Structure 1
């Protein structure tokens, strides 16, 4: 496993994802200000956003869209306040 592989996922209200990574880092990725256009357009609907799952360490949606786990890791790591373990 790579340190930034996603191992746990909880979808939170407001286009946010609570995640845990293979190395134990935990936190919230806030996508509320993202531009959901193009292939990401369905994610603008919170009910569709809530369909997120983990596949091979990556957060994915039914339409095949995924979020780069290394970018999510960097965001959580930069906020180190994250979620208490």
Structure 2
């Protein structure tokens, strides 16, 4: 299904890797490893620097994306097409939380 971010996909499976990395598998068969460390700024995402909390990420089969117990999540299309969106998202987070970093 088309969305403003591209064709909708669901995350089917994930593996937590060392260093704030997640390996994601999507329902179109593609896989991606994403480094979340640059996103871990601010009250919601910064809390995920706690490696125990970060490792509690799960796939929500109702929404088709990943989420953490503290409510952090991302659109699965953005995750799927991460190279296309990552620079902008990381730059926005750094600008928003520059005083905190």
How many residue pairs align between the two structures?
A: 78
TM-score by length of 2: 0.67
Greater RCO (Cα-Cα under 8 Å, separation 6 or more): 1
Specify which structure has the higher proportion of helix.
2
TM-score by length of 1: 0.78
* 8 Å Cα contact 1:3/1:23 also seen in 2: no
Residue of structure 1 equivalent to 2:32: 27
Worse-matched range after superposition: 46-55 or 3-12: 3-12
Q: Unpaired segments of 5 or more residues in structure 2?
A: 2-6, 86-101
* Cα RMSD after superposing both structures: 2.2
Q: Unpaired segments of 5 or more residues in structure 1?
A: 79-85
Bigger radius of gyration, 1 or 2? 2
Residue of structure 2 equivalent to 1:6: 11
* 8 Å Cα contact 2:17/2:23 also seen in 1: yes
